[in-house]
């Protein structure tokens, strides 16, 4: 479950710093040079788990302590949110580009640019 993304062709591992630099939906592998698409779908289950744990921690702190301040709750919530942001690179996956689809798009572009022949 906790895996950093790898190239779908040569299985080169991308680290945190490299993932932060990926801004496009399609990228080239730094190792083999082949193109792949970047799937950035954030998994909703871990986000819901973090939210549920934060709510339970806040309720527990408010219930057990009579003289609770807002400051400790803010610190705990901020640290939990920060730790959950460290999980984001593990949700990114690299998917190989379908070569036929890519070639079809390329051929369609060529056909659009060709001048039309007229019969005389």
CA 11/CA 40 separation, integer angstroms: 18
Domain regions of the chain by residue span: 16-99
- pLDDT tens string 83-95: 877 777 777 888 8
pTM of the model: 0.53
CA 80/CA 12 separation, integer angstroms: 30
CA 25/CA 62 separation, integer angstroms: 44
Where do the DSSP E strands lie in 64-114? 93-96
Determine contact, residues 94/7, Cβ cutoff 8 Å: yes
Confidence of residue 1 (pLDDT cuts 50, 70, 90): low
pLDDT of residue 101: 60
Average per-residue pLDDT for the chain: 77
């Amino acid at each position: 479950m906790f895996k950093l993304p790898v190239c779908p062709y040569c299985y080169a591992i991308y680290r945190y710093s490299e993932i932060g630099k990926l801004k496009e939906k399609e990228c080239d592998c730094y190792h083999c040079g082949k193109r792949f698409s970047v799937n950035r779908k954030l998994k909703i289950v871990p986000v819901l788990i973090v939210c549920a744990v934060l709510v339970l921690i806040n309720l527990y702190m408010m219930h057990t302590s009579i003289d609770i301040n807002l400051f400790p709750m803010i610190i705990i919530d901020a640290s939990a949110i920060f730790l959950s942001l460290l999980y984001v690179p593990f949700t990114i996956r690299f998917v190989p580009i379908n070569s036929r689809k890519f070639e079809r798009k390329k051929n369609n572009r060529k056909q659009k640019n060709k001048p039309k022949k007229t019969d005389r």
